[in-house]
């Protein structure tokens, strides 16, 4: 077997294992703290540090990966996730808001270290392949991650019912620790490590294409989380009267479907674009199409159409177009990145991604409290339009650049 693909497989399996725990811990916290009497909004606020420290981690993590190697930063991420899971195994009396936010901060750092390392490793491990091959490998990694995060929602809920809160946490922590040890043994040292020690100032990209893509990514993910994180689950629970399990299952299925579309994006886009690899024009077209979805949903709710039907159909359409957008963005950052600075370029890009999630999360709570789900959706439409305007300047991928 080609050693690069073998190592890519190990990175992917490690990323999958981590992603399952990431989805599971989120569902465990949501369900268990709901049982402890927290309101849906209060539960959502427990994840603020999770998102905030993602910004810091992506900024520092890319620089750290370039200095010590991407395999080591990925393994540090796994170790921090094991610690975050173990922290939540304390008695209920210790589970204050501040304590749980601290544990979620560690989990956020772990998640973004792991994600940055895995995705940047793809360019290093499959170097020399054609642009379309790079798009395929990135899409498989990204799409499978989102599908497995949805599966993690199910696993977290099932373990909670079967083993209880602390039993579930212990099972997840032990399983991830085994995967971490296996990756230490099987992966080569120094993947993605730069020959010269980069300065911290180098994490800020001086390439216009990367800066523009990162800015577009910020508003793209803010447009999703402004209604998906707080507004949507609270609306389903309080307005439509869905049970908590029904809300969690519905969101998990959406994430699994979203991930499946991401993974299949290269083949679908290739057939649509007559075999051409996507570039800046593809990103522009997709984000302009996306702007229609939240605006149409908000208008439909204001016209008093069946809210359940509007939400289900709208969420499916939004998820399909958003998945294509995200998949193309994940390819473009690697296509635009310099090979010897890939970890820092990817870290900077995912810093913007994390910033968009944090902004969307906070705005979701505020806009839902003031204007309901319609207000969240109108905010989403505005944010997508901003992403579209930024995307106008995105360049095409130069032939051979992604290699």
Residue 403 domain flag = no
Whole-number pLDDT of residue 341 = 62
Residue 399 domain flag = no
Average pLDDT, the chain: 79
Percent of the chain exceeding pLDDT 90 equals: 22
**Residue range 30-46, pLDDT digits in tens:** 778 877 887 766 776 78
Distances (CA, A) of 71 to 123, 161, 262: 13, 35, 24
- Exposed/middle/buried for residue 185 (C-beta within 10 Å: 0-12, 13-18, 19+): exposed
Whole-number pLDDT of residue 267 = 66
pTM of the model: 0.71
Cβ partners under 8 Å of residue 365, min gap 6:
41, 44, 45, 230, 231
**Residue range 389-402, pLDDT digits in tens:** 998 888 876 654 44
**Residue range 262-317, pLDDT digits in tens:** 777 766 666 555 556 667 778 888 899 999 999 999 999 999 899 999 999 999 99
Backbone angles phi, psi at 198, to 5 degrees: -75, 150
Residue 52 domain flag = yes
Q: What is the mean pLDDT of residues 347-367?
A: 83
User: Which of 151-160, 203-212, 337-346 ranks highest by mean pLDDT?
Assistant: 151-160
Question: pLDDT confidence of 119, banded at 50, 70, 90?
Answer: low
192 pLDDT more than 70: no
Tell me how far apart the alpha carbons of residues 322 and 293 are, in angstroms, rounded to a whole number. Answer: 10
Residue 124 domain flag = yes
**Residue range 223-236, pLDDT digits in tens:** 998 988 778 888 88
**Residue range 45-76, pLDDT digits in tens:** 788 888 788 777 877 766 676 667 777 888 88
CATH number (domain holding residue 135): 1.20.1250.20
Whole-number pLDDT of residue 296 = 94
Residue 309 domain flag = yes
Number of domains the chain is built from: 1
204 pLDDT more than 80: no
Residue 398 domain flag = no
User: Which of 218-222, 327-331, 337-341 ranks highest by mean pLDDT?
Assistant: 218-222
Q: What is the mean pLDDT of residues 4-29?
A: 81
Whole-number pLDDT of residue 124 = 59
Contact yes or no for 227/293 (Cβ under 8 A): no
Question: pLDDT confidence of 342, banded at 50, 70, 90?
Answer: low
- Boundaries of domain holding 323: 3-191+199-391
Residue 397 domain flag = no
Evaluated on CA atoms 273, 278, 282, 286, the torsion sign reads: positive
- Exposed/middle/buried for residue 234 (C-beta within 10 Å: 0-12, 13-18, 19+): buried
Tell me how far apart the alpha carbons of residues 10 and 401 are, in angstroms, rounded to a whole number. Answer: 26
Quick count: other Cβ atoms within 10 Å of Cβ 118? 26
């Amino acid at each position: 077997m080609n050693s690069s693909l073998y190592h890519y497989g190990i990175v992917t399996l490690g990323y999958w294992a981590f992603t399952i725990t990431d989805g599971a811990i989120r569902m465990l916290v949501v369900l268990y703290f709901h049982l402890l009497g927290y309101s849906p909004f209060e539960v959502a606020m427990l994840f603020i540090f999770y998102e905030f420290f993602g910004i810091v981690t992506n900024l520092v993590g890319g620089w750290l990966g370039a200095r010590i190697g991407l395999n080591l930063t990925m393994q540090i991420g796994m170790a921090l996730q094991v610690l975050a899971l173990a922290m939540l195994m304390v008695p209920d009396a210790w589970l204050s808001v501040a304590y749980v936010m601290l544990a979620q901060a560690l989990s956020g750092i772990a998640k973004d270290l792991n994600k940055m390392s895995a995705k940047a490793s793809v360019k290093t491990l499959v170097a020399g392949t054609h642009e379309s091959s790079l798009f395929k490998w990135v899409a498989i990694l990204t799409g499978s991650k989102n599908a497995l995060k949805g599966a993690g929602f199910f696993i977290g809920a099932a373990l909670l019912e079967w083993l209880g809160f602390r039993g579930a946490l212990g099972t997840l922590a032990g399983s991830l620790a085994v995967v971490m040890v296996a990756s230490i043994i099987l992966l080569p040292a120094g993947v993605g490590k730069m020959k010269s020690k980069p300065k911290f100032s180098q994490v800020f990209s001086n390439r216009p294409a990367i800066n523009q893509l990162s800015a577009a990514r910020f508003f793209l993910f803010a447009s999703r989380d402004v209604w998906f994180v707080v507004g949507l689950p609270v609306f389903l629970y309080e307005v439509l009267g869905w049970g908590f399990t029904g809300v969690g299952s519905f969101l998990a299925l959406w994430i699994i479907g979203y991930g499946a579309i991401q993974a299949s994006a290269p083949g679908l886009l290739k057939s649509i674009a007559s075999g051409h690899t996507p570039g800046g024009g593809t990103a522009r077209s997709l984000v302009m199409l996306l702007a229609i979805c939240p605006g149409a949903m908000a208008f439909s709710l204001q016209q008093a159409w069946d809210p359940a039907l509007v939400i289900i159909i709208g969420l499916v359409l939004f998820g399909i177009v958003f998945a294509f957008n995200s998949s193309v963005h994940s390819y473009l950052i690697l296509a635009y990145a310099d090979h010897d600075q890939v970890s820092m370029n990817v870290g900077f890009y995912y810093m913007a991604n994390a910033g968009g999630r944090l902004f969307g999360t906070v705005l979701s709570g505020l806009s839902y409290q003031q204007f309901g789900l319609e207000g969240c959706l109108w905010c989403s439409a505005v944010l997508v339009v901003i992403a579209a305007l930024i995307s106008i300047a995105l360049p095409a991928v130069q032939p051979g650049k992604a290699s």
